Amino acid sequence: MRIGDFKESYAADEALFRTPTARAWLAVLAAALVAFPFVAGDYLLYLANLVGVFLIAALGLNILTGYTGQISLGHAAFMGVGAYATAVAATRLDAPFWLAVPAGGAAACLAGAVVGVPSLRIKGLYLAIATLAAQVIFEWVFTNWESVTGGIRGINVPPASLAGFRFDTDLRSYFLVLPLAALHAYAAANLFRTRVGRAFIAVRDRDLSAELMGVNLFRTKILAFMTSSWFAGIAGGLFVYFAKVVTPESFPLSLSIQLLAMIIVGGLGTIQGALYGTVFVTLVPEALRSLTQLAQRLSPDAMTWFYPMRDIVFGAMIVGFLVFEPRGLAEIVSRARRFFALWPFPK
Amino acid sequence: MDHLLQLLVSGVVTGGIYALIAIGFVVVYKATGVINFATGELMMIGAFFAWTAMTAARAPFAVAVLVAALGAALVGAAVERVVLRPLMGQRAISVIMVTIGLSSIFKGLAQIVWTGEYRSFPAIFPRKPLVLGPVLLPSRQAYPFLIALAAILLLALLFRFTRTGTAMRATAGDQATAFGMGIDIRRMFSLSWMLAAITAALAGIVIGTIGGISPQLGAVGLRIFPVVILGGLDSVGGALLGGIVVGVLENLAGGYLDPLLPGAGVKDVAPFVALVLILMVRPYGLFGTREIERL
């Protein structure tokens, strides 16, 4: 049982992780994450990298949709802009990855600003459809602007390297993805303790009231689009180094939807939610795949069921969470924590 | 000149079908405020109902359409009751995502029930093409268009003259007042979903007779967004006009811009470019109701 919450200084009160218990768990998590690749096999490592990349994108989408209330159905397109910018910087300009990836972030940031400009006038469902249009248009550009994007063949990218160390295996990429994902999660968590972040939340809760309280709506909304696209662009850039090739098929509308599913399943407007959701949404289809492979021993045509079942499970996951647990996995976790906070005494 | 006329006419024909899909979409939006991303999948399911009736039970086309309409109505009512009613009054993102989730479920179910294969309807319409002056219209485009027009007309009459239609319009106009006048709002919600599913099924059949059906047919559902934005999400007349404008735009872009621009698919992207431009100028579409916000 944990009792008492006594702070002696403002610094202690402002800390992101406030209690010794929270800090201890964080240390355990960090140790586990560093130890993980030396224990896990290639397949698990591949999944971990995938989760890391999607986590950055989901954090970004959560900033825009979960915290600022602007629905984006075009987040995969922002990832795509980041990925192509990174790929072009890496192949045409021979930029090292530590320049190419931020270049991808910056390019996505710019694209986000352009898509965000109409958001002052277009609201809610209409904005959702406008971002859907952005997704369709960007996908078309990726496919057809052949001189830059290489058309449907895409662009092959050499692995990232730092001072002679090449991040060319899943194990090595892990140590590229993990610090960046952790850094972005930390940045996102801190964002909502600043004036700008609080303005985002005010805009979500009631944009007109926020404006009356002195929040510059236009600037705030654009900033939300840009921040969120930066995250998406970095995720896209990392994806390029991790997948070693970028093609238009990498960033379809279904990826945008998957990212939305992640933040909904995890919990809209929470940082932990983006993490839980990303892990859950990425791993559930893989679990289903393993199950199907088991079932294949019983009946050889079980694999034909895999893709339809994946669609059904994905849809049921979204519908189920929205109907039964609209605040997502983050709420389940905090309910469990509340239960144990007073345990073994009843509430 | 003949090329232009041909493009215009086939644009209007596709547009009529888009309009039919869009009307089902608008009916749901007006009554319940839900953007239905599962429209395309409802189309696909409805078309498969009709296809099954025609191939497995050898039912004539008219009977198959009735069966499909009935099945679709059941699906629509179930969706509204089980999934959307608990979400009434929730944030926009929840409502959007729940229909996206539904569309994914429908797609998976259809793949299991009807497999992923491509199916074509048995020949239904007479093969003789329709000749309108210099324009030749293949019969497999002309008759579906006529069916779509008839369905739209029927819906318009239903809304205008029947008691239920009036009640639905009242609900769309002002829920609280309609409720105060003794209209059963929940029944109207349920009805609007049933109507939407039926129009979607009809549209699915119509499209299926043109080019065959598969579980991927639902992808067509995305194309209605430019249509409904053009017309305004809550305008039935706008949906009709929007459908035809988008149909014509697609065909003109395909006919004239495709040779000029690199790569293919101008036809598919042009309506979305138009969508963005329209939203920039008129944030609520051309005929949509401007929402007045109060604190």
Which pLDDT tens digit goes with each residue over A52-89? 999 999 999 999 999 999 999 999 999 999 999 999 99
For A45-342, CATH number? 1.10.3470
Residue B272: inside a domain: no
Does B121 reside within a domain? Answer: yes
**Residue B274 domain-assigned (yes or no):** no
Strand A155-156 and strand A245-246: pairing? antiparallel
Residue B92 to residue A71, Cβ atoms within 8 A: yes
| For B112, nearest residue in chain A (alpha carbons) | A308
Phi, psi for A33 (deg, rounded to 5): -65, -40
Residue B147 pLDDT greater than 90, yes or no: no
User: Most A CBs within 10 Å: which of B93, B225, B258, as the mutation test of the A interface?
Assistant: B93
Enumerate the domain spans of chain A.
45-342
Q: Would an 8 Å CB–CB cutoff place A35 in contact with chain B?
A: no
Q: By residue range, what is the domain housing residue B170?
A: 2-126+134-220
Residue A160 has pLDDT above 80, yes or no: no
Q: Are B238 and B224 in contact (CB under 8 A)?
A: no
Q: Give me the residues paired with residue B131 across strands.
A: B136
Is the sign of the CA dihedral A189, A191, A194, A199 positive or negative? negative
Number of domains present in the structure of chain B? 1
pLDDT at residue A107 in the model: 96
Give pLDDT, residue A72: 92
DSSP H or E segment with residue A336? helix A328-342
Choose between A124 and A82: higher pLDDT.
A82
E strand map for chain A: 155-156, 161-162, 165-166, 245-246
Q: Is some CB atom of chain A closer than 8 A to the CB atom of B262?
A: yes
Q: Which residue of A has its CA nearest to B103?
A: A315
The verdict on residue B261 lying in a domain is no
| A305–B93 C-beta distance less than 8 A | no
Q: What is the mean pLDDT of residues A190-213?
A: 91
Cα distances (Å, whole numbers) of residue A337 to A155, A277, A342, B71, B292:
47, 18, 9, 46, 43
CB contact under 8 A, A260 and B93: yes
Q: B125 pLDDT exceeds 80?
A: no
Confidence check: pLDDT of A152 > 90: no
Distances (CA, A) of B276 to A54, A145, A167: 28, 20, 41
In this complex, the residue of A136, A310, A312 whose CB is nearest that of residue B272 is A136
Mean pLDDT value across residues A171-199: 91
Regarding predicted confidence, which is higher, B210 or A220? Answer: A220
- The token pair at B151 is 């369905």
Contact status of A44 with chain B (Cβ, < 8 Å): no
Which residue from B268, B226, B227 is spatially nearest to B251, judged by alpha carbons?
B268
Phi, psi of B213, rounded to the nearest 5 degrees: -130, 155
DSSP symbol at A169: S
What mean pLDDT is predicted for residues B184-200?
91
- pLDDT exceeds cutoff 60 at A192: yes
Q: Min CA distance, A118 vs chain B (Å)?
A: 6
CB A64, CB A228: distance < 8 Å: yes
* Cβ density class A83-113: b for 16+ within 10 Å, e for less: bbbbbbbbbeeebebeebbbbbbbbbbbbbe
Residue B242 CB partners (closer than 8 Å, separation 6+): B18, B19, B22, B226, B227, B228, B229, B230, B231, B285, B286
Please give, rounded to a whole number of angstroms, the shortest distance from the CA of A75 to a CA of chain B: 14
A chain contacts of residue B109, beta-carbon cutoff 8 Å: 308, 312
Among B106, B116, B276, beta carbon nearest to A133:
B276
Top residue of A129, A255, A314 to mutate, by most chain B CBs within 10 Å, is A129
What's the mean pLDDT in A88-106? 91
Alpha carbon A111 to its chain centroid, in Å, reads: 18
Q: How confident is the model at residue B47 (pLDDT cuts 50, 70, 90)?
A: very high
| Cβ proximity of B15 and B30 under 8 Å | no
Phi, psi of B21 (to 5 degrees): -60, -45
What mean pLDDT is reported for chain A?
89
Residues 107-146 of A with CB under 8 A from B: 118, 121-126, 128-130, 132-134, 136-137, 140, 143-146
Which of A69, A146, A209 is opposite residue B262, by nearest beta carbon?
A146
Average pLDDT over residues A208-218: 90
Does residue B94 belong to any structural domain of this protein? yes
- Chain B residues 191-210 within an 8 A CB cutoff of chain A: none
User: Residue A170: in which H helix or E strand, if any?
Assistant: helix A170-191
pLDDT of residue A265: 94
| Residue B17 included in any domain | yes
Instruction: Flag whether residue A303 sits within 8 Å of chain B, measured between CB atoms.
Output: no
Asked if A229 contacts A237 with a C-beta cutoff of 8 angstroms, the reply is no
Contact residues, chain B, for A146 at CB < 8 Å: 262-263
Phi-psi bin for B290: left (phi > 0), alpha (psi -120 to 50), beta? beta
From the list A124, A209, A312, the residue facing B108 with the nearest CB is A312
Cα Rg, chain A, nearest whole Å: 21
Mean pLDDT of B63-82: 94
- Cβ separation of A308 and B111 shorter than 8 Å? yes
pLDDT at residue A244 greater than cutoff 90: no
Q: Which helix (H) or strand (E) holds A51?
A: helix A42-61
- Helix/strand/coil (H/E/C) assignment for every residue in chain B: CHHHHHHHHHHHHHHHHHHHHHHHHHHHHHHHCCCCCCHHHHHHHHHHHHHHHHHCCCCCHHHHHHHHHHHHHHHHHHHHHHHHHHHCCCCHHHHHHHHHHHHHHHHHHHHHHHCCCCECCCCCCCCCCEEECCEEECHHHHHHHHHHHHHHHHHHHHHHHCHHHHHHHHHHHCHHHHHHCCCCHHHHHHHHHHHHHHHHHHHHHHHHHHHCECHHHHHHHHHHHHHHHHHCCCCHHHHHHHHHHHHHHHHHHHHHHCCCCCCCCHHHHHHHHHHHHHHHHCCCCCCCCCCCCCC
Work out the pLDDT band at B174, boundaries 50, 70, 90.
confident
- Mean pLDDT for A6-28 is 82
Q: What is the pLDDT of residues B241-274, one digit of tens each?
A: 888 889 898 888 887 877 766 656 788 888 898 8
Closest of A320, A284, A252, A306 to residue A51, by C-alpha: A284
Question: Has residue B75 been placed in a domain?
Answer: yes
Q: How many residues does chain A have?
A: 347
pLDDT top residue among B41 and A19: B41
Say yes or no to pLDDT of A11 above 90: no
Where residue A231 falls among pLDDT bands split at 50, 70, 90? very high
Closest residue in chain B to residue A150, using alpha carbons only: B263
Q: Does B102 lie at the interface with A, CB-CB under 8 angstroms?
A: yes
Q: Is A264 on the interface with B (CB under 8 A)?
A: yes
Question: Does residue B132 carry a pLDDT above 80?
Answer: no
Say whether residue A305 is in contact with chain B using an 8 A CB cutoff: yes
pLDDT computed for residue B234 by the predictor? 77
Of B92, B104, B109, the CB nearest to A314: B104
- Chain A residues with beta carbon closer than 8 angstroms to that of B226: 133
Does the pLDDT of residue A4 top 70, yes or no?
A: no
